[in-house]
Chains A and B, each alone.
Chain A
Amino acid sequence: MTAYPILTAATFLPLVGAALILLIRSDRAARWMALTTTLATLALSIPLYLGFDKTSSALQFVESAEWIPSWGIAYSLGVDGISLPFIFLAAVLSVLCIGASWAAVRTRVREFYAALLVAETAMIGLFAASNLFLFYMFWELMIVPLFLLIGVWGGPGRIYAAVKFLLFTLSGSVLMLVGMIALYQSLGTLDFKALADAPSSLSPEQQAWLFAAFLAAFAVKVPMFPVHTWLPDAHTEAPTAGSVILAGILLKMGAYGFLRVSLPVLPDGAQLFLKPMLVISAVAIVYGAYVTLVQKDVKRLIAFSSISHMGFVTLGIFTLNRSGVEGAILQMINHGIISAALFLCVGMIYERTHTRQIQDYGGVAKVAPIYSTLLALFCLAAAGFPGLNSFVGEFLIVGGAFQTSGWLGAMAIWGVVLGTTYLVWLFYRMVMGETHPGLAGLRLELNAREVATLAPLALLALCLGLYPECVLSYLRAPVAELLAGVPR
């Protein structure tokens, strides 16, 4: 245990930074302030990884203080092996978002960085929360800065995208509110641990309704198949940093909710919904991949690929076997790294060409070799190339799917094949061949700041691909405990 409340500090340091940024006057100072804050937050979180006991499935670095005594709700934080990697991911991506926005954001700079930092507080707080009330607070808090990031600094269709994002996520989360209140009413507590220990007092019918209520919120965030339509608009219109946060963290919040609430607290409800969840996950994988194939807009293409990739994650979670769930969590991290990297790549070249149409590109390799190399690495990683990170995650998920049903495994394999197709084809159209005449005279090669922004992600993709144990070792104990509580 450390001498100071490390989780509280990591959660609220960005908020303090946001407040300071709003107080200072100069845009330049705001940038540096934001960078310092995110770096400090990342540094602050390092003792978490060093001091974490991987053999234990219990919450660690627990902090608890009285908050609303009349309702019996405490301010309690704590991390286990499932939430810890996400805190790391959130802290890293926040730093890179600042780097990616350094030159791209020119209007209302201070407000932009303040919104980014508020989002960082919400992200870290969400993964550190150890009771449902606090979880919900951060869940909702996340909506506000992202609504503004998309709507103020986004592309031409930004207002439509922002409002659509807001209404979709809010519709889901208000149902979660009713579910949370019903849970509180029946069990008298909102602490994750206490909720998970007392599931027997809920009848299967109650559990089914509660599962549906939470599903509404989580499915929209993931997003699962029929409620995914906000995602392409939001990701496409958002500024690069917004897309990175959306794809990197926000989508993981829904899947994390399944692992934190739906499975441990409502095992019978999960049991009832198991088959439909598996089916719509498989549909998302294949349908998402086919829709991705026909996209003409690079950013939209990557956005749609997220639907397919997140389908793998939900498929893995609901196989309810060790391989599937561990693979799903690993894949969440992988997708966070790779889709963030791909959005950063697209954003960097868009700043120079101001077009997102694939047909306006071609032969980028000749003018921007470093960029092309990095893009190749990330495309291969996303396609599940062995030696890069997604391979391990997809392999585990597909393995888990085959244990559940051969059909699901086949669908997942088909999804991998399609994924490889659209990514390689994208790379082929953009990077190979003759240089597109429209690109003549543009300086497409990356500068040092941009390389520094992408390099950590490339490094992570390689590390996780060659040595996935560095994440999997955290997952073993908590996943084992999670699955022990769920009947199969």
Chain B
Amino acid sequence: MNGVSASDLVLLLPELILVGTCLVLLLAARPIQANRAVPLALVGTVLAAVAAAVASGWLLSRGAATGFGGMFRVDGYSQFFKLLITATLVLTALFSVRSIEDEKLPRAEYFVLLLLASTGMMFAASALDLLTLYLGVELMTLCAYILVGIRVERPKSNEAAIKYFLLGSFASALLLYGISLTYGVTGATDFGGIAQALSEGDGENPILLLGIVLVAAGLAFKIAAVPFHAWAPDAYEGASTPVAAFLAAGFKAAGLAALGRVCLIAFHTESQLLSMALTGLAALSIIVGSLMALSQTDMKRLLAYSSIAHAGYALLGLIAGTSEGTSATMTYAFFYVFMTLGTFGVVIALGERGQKLDGYQGLAVQRPVTAALMLLFLLSLTGIPPTAGFVAKFVVILSAVRAGHTTLAVVAVVCSVVSAFIYMRVAVLMYMKEPEEPAPSRIPMAISAALGLAALVTLIGGLFPGGLTSWAVAP
């Protein structure tokens, strides 16, 4: 391997912007904490995210490139996810204005953790080597452990963080073990080397198969696919709501990005095994996620199970093992992020009242616009046109049918009716019941702006999906 050159560092520009902002925020932590009037840390984070998005776009315009001795890849695929991750960061940061105030979170540290976690996600999206992948994924997960437990004075938050940490470490161990087994058999950790070794005939080695399954399992944990989902409801419930939104949206995007590239490039010769494993994960996630959500009364737990089901839908695209299927998953991830962030955004906007399902009673009378936005996001999660959720569902089911999994497609759509029942229960409460609680307090500007952005993408994406679907190109 050659040393690191300046041209390598340029490829890291978006990540460097985020890390640089982290350092500035840490150095200026004291004045930030003292100055309550101007949300300096928030503005800094949003600006950094926008700059990182611009830098990602600029790098893409220079053409695809590989750096750091073949460990780091900048191409349409990675930049697609980087834009998505920066969008997640911007929306989460805007959603956080109220909880920082109400829950007295340490301002600087909170945003630093968000920025670092996003950096990890970006590395995962660009990884062309199992070790880069592991580093990226671990960076985001470590930040997430702290973010979940950042409400130190709340026992529930601490409990959630510990649970998440224990299960998460186990999953990281699985991932690492899978990487080491793969390395043991193929003698390579970079995707190209693994693919070459596999095509030369190590494909039947049982140790390798175990390694592949373990890598897939480790990544399935990150996107909370069943049976690696147990942490999600507890972590979401215990975490501050913006953090839960960040986990639900960003983690899925990054995990899917990593999984997509691993399946399509490193292990593409093993597509039969992967397809089997992913079919199981997808079917279980969709069924369990939809059914478990039925009995939830806590909004965050409900959304946690819904996000588990959506992870299953997103995996439908990867089963095919084709670039068409992968781009279907990319489209799904993109729209999923915005509609999930939007739903969480409404939960956040309603404050304490938004946490319980009963809190939505009569919302349409008190806050018609907020209720209409929630209805839009819920329809999108259900997959009813003309929202983006329908387009997302259409592409992944098309991909499943193309791969010959028609039965799986039928299972998926039938479960979407089950989940429709849950989502529409919220709509019933909002529109068809009389309010029992006083109207929620005014929604801060930042949250309204973020909600508006999410709604815009959900609606435009559903009406004119052409632009995005042609942009979601697999590696």
In the complex, whether B417 has a CB less than 8 A from a CB of chain A is yes
Closest chain B residue, CB of each to CB of A159: B432
Question: In the complex the two chains form, is A151's CB within 8 Å of B413's CB?
Answer: no
Say whether A167 contacts B420, CB under 8 Å.
Answer: yes
Cross-chain contact A141 with B385 (CB below 8 angstroms) = yes
Complex CA–CA separation, A158 to B212 (angstroms):
53
Interface string of A151-192 (1 = CB under 8 A from B): 110000011001100110011001101100110110000000
Q: Are A152 and B432 in contact (CB under 8 A)?
A: yes
Contact B384 A185 (CB under 8 A): no
Q: How far is the CB of B230 from chain A (nearest CB, A)?
A: 28
> Which B residues are in CB contact (< 8 Å) with A170?
382, 417, 420
Does chain B have a CB within 8 A of A276? no
Inside 8 A of B427's CB, which chain A residues have their CB?
A: 147
Is B401's CB under 8 angstroms from A162's CB?
A: no
CA gap between A171 and B386 in the complex, in Å: 18
Is B379's CB within 8 Å of the partner chain A? yes
Q: Are A68 and B469 in contact (CB under 8 A)?
A: yes
Find the B residue at minimum CB distance from A177.
B413
Residues on B with beta carbons closer than 8 Å to the beta carbon of A151: 428, 431-432
* One of B175-183, B203-211, B390-398 at the interface: B390-398
Q: Is the CB of B406 within 8 A of A71?
A: no
Which one, B368, B397, B402, B428, contacts A177 given CB within 8 A?
Answer: B397
Task: Check B410–A148 contact: CB distance below 8 A.
Answer: no
Instruction: Report the interface size for chain B: residues with CB under 8 A from the other chain.
Output: 34
Q: How many A residues, CB 8 Å from partner? A: 34
Q: Are B420 and A185 in contact (CB-based, < 8 A)?
A: no
| Binary flags per residue of A423-450, CB closer than 8 Å to B gives 1, else 0 | 0000000000000000000000000000
Asked if B192 lies at the interface with its beta carbon under 8 angstroms from chain A, I say no
When chains A and B are docked, how far (Å) is the Cα of A66 from the Cα of B465? Answer: 12
Query: A67 an interface residue at 8 Å Cβ cutoff?
Result: yes
A166 and B420 contacting across the interface, CB-CB below 8 Å: yes
Q: Is residue A143 within 8 Å, beta carbon to beta carbon, of the partner chain?
A: yes
Could you tell me the dominant secondary structure of chain B's interface residues? helix
Please give me the residue from chain A that is nearest to B418 by CB atom. Answer: A167
Pairwise interchain contact B432-A70, C-beta atoms closer than 8 A: no
Given A68-B466, A159-B432; A171-B417 close (CB under 8 Å) = yes
Q: Does A136 contact B (CB under 8 A)?
A: yes
Q: Is the CB of A178 within 8 A of B406?
A: yes
Closest chain B CB from A432 CB (angstroms): 39
**Is A487 interfacial (CB-CB < 8 Å)?**
no
Asked whether A137 is an interface residue with its Cβ less than 8 Å from the other chain, the reply is yes
Instruction: Give Cα A158–Cα B410 distance, bound, in whole angstroms.
Output: 30
Instruction: Kindly state the separation between the CA atoms of A166 and B382 in the bound complex, as whole angstroms.
Output: 12
B-contacting residues, A121-147, CB 8 Å = 136-137, 140-141, 143-144, 147
A185's partner among B401, B428, B470 (CB-CB below 8 A) is B401
With A and B bound together, what is the CA distance between A170 and B413 in angstroms? 10
A137→B385 contact, CB < 8 A: yes
In the assembled complex, the CB of B310 is this many whole angstroms from the nearest CB of chain A, namely 16
Judge if A69 is at the interface, Cβ distance under 8 Å. yes
Contact residues, B445-475 vs A (CB, 8 A) = 464-466, 469-470
A152 vs B421: C-alpha distance in the bound complex, in angstroms? 17
List chain B residues, Cβ under 8 A from A158. 432
Beyond A171-B417, A181-B398, A182-B406, 6 additional contacts (C-beta under 8 Å) are A68-B469, A159-B428, A167-B420, A178-B409, A181-B394, A181-B409
Can you list 13 A-B pairs, Cβ within 8 angstroms, ordered by A? A67-B464, A137-B386, A147-B427, A151-B431, A152-B431, A159-B428, A159-B432, A167-B417, A174-B413, A175-B410, A175-B413, A178-B397, A181-B397
Residues in chain A within 8 A of chain B (CB atoms) = 66-71, 108, 111, 136-137, 140-141, 143-144, 147-148, 151-152, 158-159, 162-163, 166-167, 170-171, 174-175, 177-178, 181-182, 184-185
